[in-house]
């Protein structure tokens, strides 16, 4: 069974940084794109970032461009989201997601349980 386990969430001040990790199992990790999305209570799911299976292509939502960086370590079946210059509007439950094919950064089929990020003064 596909399994995605996020970690690294917590509290940060505006302008601070956090690094999220997602460890994957149950599929051939280096054959699939990966993505991050987030959810705020009362709002829908917002796509945040994605990365191609080989790690050479990345893409970001306009709201996080220039502040967040997605990366992956295929030898460790892990995808990361480095979040810098955090803003209060970044506070959300962050999910790791598996793409449905090698470049499926917006077409996902499995999700983790999420890790909570809080940003406040």
Query: Tens-of-pLDDT digits for all 121 residues of the chain?
Result: 999 999 999 999 999 999 999 999 999 999 999 999 999 988 999 999 999 999 999 999 999 999 999 999 999 999 999 999 999 999 999 999 999 999 999 999 999 999 999 999 9
**Residues sharing a CB contact under 8 Å with residue 17, sequence separation 6 or more, in sequence order:** 82, 83, 84, 85, 86
d(CA 92, CA 119): 9
Q: What is the CA radius of gyration of the chain?
A: 13
d(CA 51, CA 72): 8
Q: 51 with 58: CB under 8 angstroms? A: yes
């Amino acid at each position: 069974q596909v399994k995605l386990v996020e970690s690294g969430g917590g509290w940060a001040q505006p302008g601070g940084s956090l690094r999220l990790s997602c460890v994957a199992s149950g599929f051939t990790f280096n054959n699939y794109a990966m993505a991050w999305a987030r959810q705020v209570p009362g709002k829908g799911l917002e796509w945040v970032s994605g990365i191609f299976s080989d790690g050479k292509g990345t893409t970001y939502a306009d709201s996080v461009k220039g502040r967040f960086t997605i990366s992956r370590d295929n030898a460790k079946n892990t995808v990361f989201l480095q979040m810098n210059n955090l803003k209060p509007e970044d506070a959300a439950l962050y999910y790791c997601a598996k793409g449905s094919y090698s470049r499926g950064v917006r077409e996902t089929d499995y999700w983790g349980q999420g890790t909570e990020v809080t940003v406040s003064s």
